[in-house]
Amino acid sequence: MQKQPIWVLVNCNSDEEGEKIGRTVLKKHLGGCFDIFPRKLTEYFWPPKSGKIEKAGGCLLIIETLLDKYKEVTKEAKHFHSDQLPFIGYIQIHGVSNQYLKWLQGELK
């Protein structure tokens, strides 16, 4: 059975923060690729239970990896993230070609 490919999503406060997390994951062979997309605007409640709405920018970091690497990727993302409570989650990816999946599996430790 093939391993399940996922995209790990991390909301970051800057491109630099996203690059730091992404490069660390690559250097440790926990992910095969990362992409950074600018966020024009994000709004959220902060601090908790205050009813106050904050605004920010930043970026969305997407890391291509396998489900069995998710916990390790999350640990690295939390270590380098500047937020107390960062958003880190994953989406399972279906329909990836066997050739791409073999490449991804070959790059991960």
Predicted TM-score (pTM) of this structure? 0.93
Instruction: Read off the pLDDT of residues 1-40 as tens digits, 9 standing for 90 and up.
Output: 458 999 999 999 999 999 999 999 999 999 999 999 999 8
Instruction: Read off the pLDDT of residues 56-76 as tens digits, 9 standing for 90 and up.
Output: 999 999 999 999 999 999 999
Work out how many domains the chain is built from and give that number: 1
Helix axes 15-27, 70-80, angle to 10 degrees: 140
Domain with 75 in it: 5-107
CATH of the domain at 72: 3.30.70.120
Q: Which of 12, 27, 9 is nearest to 80 (CA)?
A: 12
- Whether residue 84 is predicted with pLDDT greater than 60 in this model: the reply is yes
